[in-house]
C-alpha cells in the first residue's frame, strides 16, 4: 500500500476518498484539531434519534381529530343559537384534549430521558487514545472501535480486523455473519457478533445508511395493534352510521319544531353529540401514556407504545439464562487436570508430558489466552480474574502468534502460541461437548458438574494451525475450567409470579442442557428436570413445534434455533415475549411478539427490542406484564361504556325520526348523563389494576355487550319518554326529565356491570355518581341550570320501574355473554 509523504487532514481529499484511515501511521486516530475542523465544516453525525413524537406532533394528533371536528362544529352552532349551558359538551372536549396532551407530554419527557440513559456510547480513537463519545459527536474520518455486541453507528471502511464478523441481517436479511477484512465496507445498523476491529467513518449524519432507513427500531412508533385496529374499525363504522342518522334527525326536528328553529337545532345537536365516542380514543392514548410513565419510573424504556398492549397478551416468556436468571459475573471455582489423555486425532507430542508441571503450564496458558482477548466475554473475564497478571500477549516465554475470539456459532475461542520450549500449538477454550468426541471419558465429569449448575469449559492443545479448516483436529484435552454463575436474587420470585399468572416461562440458552436445567431447577421452574439438548431437536416442523411447546428448558441452542423456537411457539398460537442481552439473542428478539432487552446488553439487542430494562433487573418483568394487562383490560372495559352510549343514541335518534317526536334531550342533558355515567367513571376504571390476561377478539367481545346494552337502554328510555308524553304532551321539560332519569338509572346499571368485580373504591365511585345526579335533580339552581323538573309521581316512578326491568334484562344478557366467553 502506498503512503503519502506527509499526513494531511482528509478534508482535502476528493469526495469518497479516505486513505488516511487505512495507514499504520494514522492508527492513533484524529487529533483534537482535526475533530474541531470537521465539526466546523458540519461533518458530524448529527442525526437526531427521537424516542418519541415532537410536541407539535402530539398537539396536532390530539386536537385535529375527526371527532373533535364534529364536536367543534356542533359547539360553534350552539354558541350561535344559545344558551351557553347547552354548550357544556364543548368544554368537556377541550378538557379531554388538554388531558391527552398533558399525559402524552409526560410520556414524551419520560421516554426522552430514558432514551438518553440507554443510548449507546461508541468508542473512538483520538489523539492516540480510546475514548467514549456520544453518537452525535462522531465526525467524518473518526476511527471507531468495535467489539462483540457493538452496533455499527455510521458507515465506514474497516482499518483493523481481528476475526471481525459482522451481522448485517437487520439490513440485508442475510442471516449469516460476514467476515470483514481491512478495506471492507461496514454499514450502520449492522453489529459485531465475533472478534474485534476498527473502522474509519466515511459517511455520517443523514448520509449514513441507517439514517436513510430512519432507524425505525429507535423511534417512537405507532405500529398496528389489535386494540388500535379494533377501535379504528369501530370509529369508521360509527362515522358512516352517523351521517345518515344526523341528516334524518335534522329534518325530523325541523319538522316537529317548525315554529322554534332554535329549539329544533338544540335537540338535533343533543341527538348527534352522544353518538360520538369522543372519550374512547382519548382514554386509549392516556392509558398508554400513563403506562409509559409508570414503567419509566421503574427504569423500563418502552420504545414502541403498542408493546404495552402486546405484554398483556403474552402467555409465554422465553428467557436466556445468562444475564436474565444469572448475573453477568462469573468466578472460576476449580481447575481440573485431565490425566487420562486422549485426543481427536494425531498425538500432540510429549511437550507437556511432565504431569507434575502440567497444572502450572495450564494456568500460564490460560493467562496468556486471557491477555490476548481484547474484548473478553464473562467467562474469559473470570479466567482473567483468576489467572491473568496484566502481562498481555507475552508471559514467561509465551507469545501469541494469532488469536481467534469466541464465536457463538463455533462455541470456542483460541490462540496460536509460541510456547517456552519453542514449539507452536493452538490452544482452544470452549464447550467440552463441541471440542470432544462423543463418549469421551471427560464428558461424564462435565455432565456431573453441569448437573450442579456449574459451567464447564475445556482447555485443549492442538498441533493444527488456528487458521486451518478444523483447528480442533488432534486436540489433546488438558483441563476443565469450572465456573459458577451468580444467580439473580429476584429470579425465583419472578418465575413464581409468571407461574401464578399462567404465563409459561421457558429457558433457552447456548449453555449445555444439563447445566441450564440445574440452574432452572434451583430456581423452582416447573419442568426443569427434563432439559433438551437443541442439537437433538427433530427436523420435522410439526415434531419440532411439539417439542418446543412441551419442553421448558433448552440447552446448546444456536442463535438460529432460538429464532426457530420462537416461530414454532407462535405457530401454535402462543404470544411470545423474548428476553436477552447478547447478540445471539437478536434474531429471536426481532421475531418475538415482544422483545425485552437488558440495559447492559449489546447495542444491537437494544435496537431491535421494544422494551429495554435499563437497570438490568429481571424483577421488573412482573411490573411490565401487569402494566400491559392493566392498560388493555381496562380499555376493553371502558370501550363497552362508550359504545353502549353510541348505540342508544343512534337508536333514540331513529325512534324519534320514525315517530316524528321531539328529541328527548337537550345538549346539557346529554352532557350530564355522559359525564356521570361514562366520562368520570371511565377515567378511574382505565387506570385501575387489572391482572387478567388479554385475549384476541377485542371488537367482538366489546360489541357483544355494547349492542344489546345500548338497545336495552335506548328502548327503556324511549318507552318512559313516550308514556310521559302521552300523559302531558305539552310539558316537554317534564317529559325530558323522566327520560333523563330513566336513562341515568339504566346507564348506571351498565356501569355497575362493567365495574365488576367490586371493591371499596368502585362501589364508592358508583355511589358518588348517583349522589351527584341526585344533587342535580334536587338542588334548585342546578335543576334550573340543567332544565330538569320531575312533576308529579306517576311518570317518574314509571320511569324507575322501566329502568329496573331494563336492569334485570341487562343482567341476563351479561350472564349469557359471560357464559359464552368462558366457553
Sign of the dihedral defined by the CA atoms of residues 622, 625, 631, 637, in that order: negative
Answer whether 790's CB lies under 8 Å from 734's CB: yes
SS3 752: helix
Answer whether 276's CB lies under 8 Å from 238's CB: yes
Q: What are phi and psi of 769, to 5 degrees?
A: -65, -40
For this structure, is 396 an active site residue? no
Answer whether 457's CB lies under 8 Å from 510's CB: no
- Residues forming a β-bridge with 145: 123, 198
Residue 330 and residue 383: Cα distance in Å, rounded? 9
Residue 325 and residue 515: Cα distance in Å, rounded? 13
Task: Provide the greatest CA pair distance for the chain.
Answer: 117
Cell 492508527, residue?
27
Q: Provide the terminal-to-terminal Cα distance of the chain, rounded to the nearest Å.
A: 75
Answer whether 191's CB lies under 8 Å from 178's CB: no
Sign of the dihedral defined by the CA atoms of residues 124, 127, 128, 132, in that order: negative
Answer whether 588's CB lies under 8 Å from 563's CB: yes
CA distances (Å), origin 724, targets 131, 681, 729, 777:
83, 30, 8, 18
- Between helix 698-727 and helix 226-256 the angle, nearest 10°, is 20
User: Which of 363, 391, 624 lies closest to 501 in space, CA to CA?
Assistant: 624
Residue 554 and residue 562: Cα distance in Å, rounded? 9
Answer whether 191's CB lies under 8 Å from 167's CB: yes
HSE-up (13 A, CA, CB side) for residue 602: 29
Task: Using alpha carbons only, give the angle 105, 111, 112 rounded to the nearest 5 degrees.
Answer: 90
Q: Which three cell numbers stand for residue 311?
A: 405484554
Name the DSSP class of 450.
H
Residue 244 and residue 48: Cα distance in Å, rounded? 47
Using H for helix, E for strand and C for coil, what is the string for 528-555? CCCCEEHHHCCCCHHHHHHHHHHCCEEE
Task: Using alpha carbons only, give the angle 436, 438, 444 rounded to the nearest 5 degrees.
Answer: 85
Element (H, E) at 332: strand 326-337
Sign of the dihedral defined by the CA atoms of residues 811, 812, 814, 819, in that order: positive
| Active-site position among 320, 511, 581, 593 | 320
Residues designated catalytic: 320
Amino acid at each position: 500500500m502506498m503512503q503519502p509523504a506527509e499526513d494531511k487532514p482528509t478534508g482535502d481529499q476528493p469526495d469518497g476518498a479516505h486513505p488516511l484511515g487505512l495507514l499504520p501511521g494514522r492508527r492513533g486516530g484524529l487529533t483534537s484539531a482535526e475533530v474541531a475542523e470537521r465539526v466546523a465544516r458540519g461533518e458530524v453525525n448529527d442525526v437526531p434519534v427521537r424516542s418519541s413524537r415532537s410536541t407539535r406532533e402530539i398537539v396536532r394528533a390530539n386536537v385535529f381529530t375527526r371527532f373533535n371536528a364534529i364536536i367543534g362544529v356542533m359547539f360553534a352552532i350552539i354558541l350561535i343559537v344559545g344558551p351557553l349551558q347547552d354548550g357544556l359538551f364543548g368544554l368537556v372536549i377541550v378538557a379531554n384534549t388538554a388531558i391527552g396532551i398533558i399525559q402524552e407530554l409526560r410520556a414524551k419527557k419520560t421516554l426522552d430521558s430514558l432514551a438518553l440513559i440507554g443510548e449507546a456510547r461508541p468508542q473512538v480513537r483520538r489523539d492516540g487514545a480510546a475514548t467514549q463519545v456520544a453518537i452525535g459527536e462522531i465526525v467524518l474520518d473518526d476511527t471507531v472501535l468495535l467489539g462483540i455486541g457493538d452496533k455499527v453507528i455510521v458507515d465506514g471502511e474497516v482499518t483493523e480486523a481481528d476475526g471481525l464478523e459482522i451481522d448485517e441481517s437487520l439490513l440485508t436479511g442475510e442471516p449469516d455473519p460476514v467476515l470483514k477484512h481491512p478495506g471492507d465496507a461496514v454499514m450502520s445498523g449492522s453489529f459485531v457478533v465475533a472478534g474485534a476491529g476498527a473502522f474509519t467513518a466515511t459517511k455520517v449524519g443523514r448520509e449514513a445508511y441507517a439514517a436513510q432507513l430512519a432507524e425505525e427500531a429507535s423511534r417512537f412508533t405507532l405500529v398496528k395493534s389489535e386494540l388500535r385496529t379494533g377501535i379504528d374499525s369501530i370509529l369508521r363504522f360509527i362515522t358512516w352510521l352517523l351521517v345518515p342518522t344526523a341528516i334524518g334527525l335534522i329534518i325530523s326536528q325541523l319538522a316537529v319544531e317548525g315554529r322554534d328553529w332554535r329549539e329544533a337545532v338544540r335537540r338535533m345537536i343533543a341527538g348527534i353529540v352522544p353518538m360520538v365516542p369522543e372519550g374512547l380514543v382519548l382514554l386509549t392514548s392516556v392509558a398508554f401514556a400513563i403506562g409509559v410513565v409508570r414503567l419509566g419510573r421503574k427504569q423500563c424504556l418502552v420504545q414502541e407504545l403498542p408493546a404495552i398492549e402486546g405484554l398483556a397478551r403474552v402467555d409465554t416468556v422465553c428467557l436466556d439464562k445468562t444475564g436474565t436468571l444469572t448475573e453477568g459475573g462469573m468466578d472460576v471455582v476449580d481447575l481440573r487436570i485431565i490425566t487420562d489423555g486422549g485426543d481427536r486425532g494425531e498425538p500432540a507430542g510429549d511437550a507437556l508430558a511432565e504431569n507434575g508441571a502440567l497444572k502450572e503450564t495450564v494456568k500460564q496458558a490460560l493467562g496468556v489466552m486471557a491477555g490476548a482477548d481484547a474484548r473478553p466475554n464473562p467467562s474469559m473475564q473470570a479466567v482473567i480474574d483468576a489467572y491473568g497478571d496484566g502481562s498481555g500477549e507475552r508471559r514467561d516465554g509465551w507469545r501469541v502468534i494469532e488469536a481467534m475470539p469466541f464465536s457463538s456459532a463455533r462455541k470456542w475461542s483460541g490462540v496460536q502460541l509460541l510456547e517456552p520450549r519453542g514449539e507452536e500449538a493452538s490452544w482452544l477454550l470452549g464447550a467440552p461437548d463441541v471440542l470432544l468426541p462423543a463418549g469421551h471419558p471427560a464428558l461424564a465429569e462435565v455432565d456431573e458438574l453441569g448437573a450442579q449448575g456449574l459451567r464447564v469449559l475445556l482447555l485443549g492443545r492442538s498441533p493444527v494451525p488456528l487458521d486451518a479448516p478444523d483447528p480442533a483436529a488432534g486436540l489433546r484435552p488438558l483441563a476443565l475450567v469450572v465456573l459458577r454463575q451468580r444467580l439473580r436474587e429476584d429470579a425465583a420470585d419472578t418465575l413464581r409470579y409468571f407461574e401464578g399468572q399462567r404465563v409459561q416461562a421457558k429457558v433457552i440458552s447456548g449453555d449445555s442442557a444439563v447445566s441450564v436445567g440445574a440452574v432452572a431447577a434451583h430456581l423452582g421452574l416447573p419442568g426443569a428436570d427434563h432439559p433438551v439438548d437443541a442439537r437433538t431437536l427433530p427436523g420435522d416442523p410439526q415434531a419440532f413445534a411439539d417439542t418446543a411447546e412441551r419442553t421448558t428448558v433448552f440447552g446448546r441452542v444456536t442463535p438460529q434455533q432460538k429464532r426457530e423456537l420462537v416461530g414454532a411457539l407462535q405457530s401454535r398460537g402462543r404470544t411470545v415475549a423474548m428476553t436477552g442481552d447478547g447478540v445471539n439473542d437478536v434474531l429471536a428478539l426481532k421475531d418475538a411478539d415482544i422483545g425485552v432487552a437488558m440495559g447492559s446488553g449489546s447495542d444491537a439487542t437494544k435496537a431491535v427490542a421494544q422494551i429495554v430494562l435499563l437497570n438490568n433487573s429481571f424483577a421488573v418483568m412482573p411490573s411490565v406484564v401487569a402494566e400491559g394487562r392493566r392498560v388493555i383490560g381496562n380499555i376493553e372495559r371502558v370501550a363497552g361504556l362508550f359504545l353502549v352510549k353510541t348505540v342508544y343514541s343512534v337508536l333514540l335518534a331513529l325512534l324519534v325520526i320514525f315517530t316524528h317526536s321531539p328529541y328527548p334531550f337537550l345538549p346539557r342533558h346529554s352532557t350530564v348523563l355522559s359525564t356521570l355515567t361514562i366520562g368520570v367513571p371511565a377515567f378511574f376504571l382505565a387506570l385501575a389494576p387489572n391482572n387478567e390476561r388479554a385475549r384476541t377478539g377485542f371488537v367482538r367481545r366489546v360489541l357483544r355487550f355494547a349492542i344489546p346494552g345500548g338497545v336495552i337502554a335506548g328502548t327503556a328510555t324511549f318507552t318512559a319518554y313516550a308514556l310521559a308524553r302521552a300523559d302531558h304532551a305539552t310539558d316537554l321539560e317534564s317529559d325530558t326529565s323522566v327520560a333523563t332519569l330513566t336513562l341515568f338509572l339504566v346507564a348506571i346499571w351498565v356501569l355497575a356491570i362493567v365495574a365488576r368485580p367490586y371493591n371499596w373504591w368502585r362501589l364508592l365511585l358508583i355511589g358518588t355518581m348517583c349522589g351527584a345526579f341526585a344533587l342535580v335533580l334536587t338542588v334548585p339552581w342546578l335543576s334550573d341550570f340543567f332544565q330538569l323538573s320531575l312533576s308529579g309521581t306517576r311518570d317518574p316512578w314509571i320511569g324507575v320501574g322501566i329502568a329496573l326491568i331494563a336492569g334485570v334484562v341487562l343482567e341476563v344478557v351479561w350472564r349469557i355473554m359471560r357464559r359464552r366467553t368462558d366457553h
